[in-house]
């Protein structure tokens, strides 16, 4: 699956564009000791492909997290202490995806939602967001990485939460 490969390359710093890292960041750029893979066992211990496909009457989803619940046409989360959940769906309003920041404990909505048009780099992936970087960006949020420009417009000095 192309998106899994992209996540591994990005988080292990094996992607082809590492040469574009600005000089000032090269001394601190690194690889994370993490490997993304599809689950081989479901929460009940049964063999699985790691992919849950849901037939739904919902034509598109928004940021209200409906995609994360069976009752609203999506799919319930698997235990976030054992699985990293990624939901792929049709998102409304031109949104590419979103990732939930971690809380004191895992919530029943923790994980990444990615529009299917911007997932991976083959198949339905659409330019200019066809390199799988949307999921990389959103997984970063799940790992508590904020936008480098700060979300309130004040720049790095005020609200990026990085010292």
CA distances from 30 to 7, 18, 21, 111, 140 (A): 14, 10, 11, 23, 14
Contact 12, 31 (CB under 8 A): yes
Rounded to 5°, the CA angle 126-83-81 comes to 135
Q: How far apart are CA 61 and CA 123, in angstroms?
A: 21
Enter the tokens of residue 61. 């989803």
Residue 129 · residue 141 · CB < 8 Å: no
Does 131 qualify as catalytic in the annotation?
no
Q: How many helices (H) and strands (E) does the chain have?
A: 3, 3
Residue of 20, 23, 55, 138 marked active site: 138
The residues annotated as belonging to the active site are 138
């Amino acid at each position: 699956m192309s998106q899994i490969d992209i996540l591994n390359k990005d988080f292990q710093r094996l992607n082809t564009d590492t040469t574009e890292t600005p000089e000032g960041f090269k001394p601190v750029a690194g690889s994370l000791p993490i490997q993304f893979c599809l689950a081989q066992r479901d929460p009940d211990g049964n063999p699985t492909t790691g992919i849950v496909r849901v037939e739904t009457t919902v034509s598109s989803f928004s940021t209200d997290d409906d995609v994360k619940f069976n009752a609203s046409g999506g799919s319930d989360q698997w235990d976030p202490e054992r699985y990293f959940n990624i939901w792929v769906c049709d998102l409304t309003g031109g949104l590419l995806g979103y990732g939930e920041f971690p809380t004191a404990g895992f919530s029943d909505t923790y994980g990444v939602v990615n529009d299917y048009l911007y997932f991976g780099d083959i198949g339905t992936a659409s330019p200019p967001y066809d390199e799988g970087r949307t999921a990389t960006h959103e997984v970063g949020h799940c790992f508590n990485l904020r936008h480098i420009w700060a979300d309130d417009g004040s720049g790095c000095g005020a609200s990026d939460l990085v010292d």
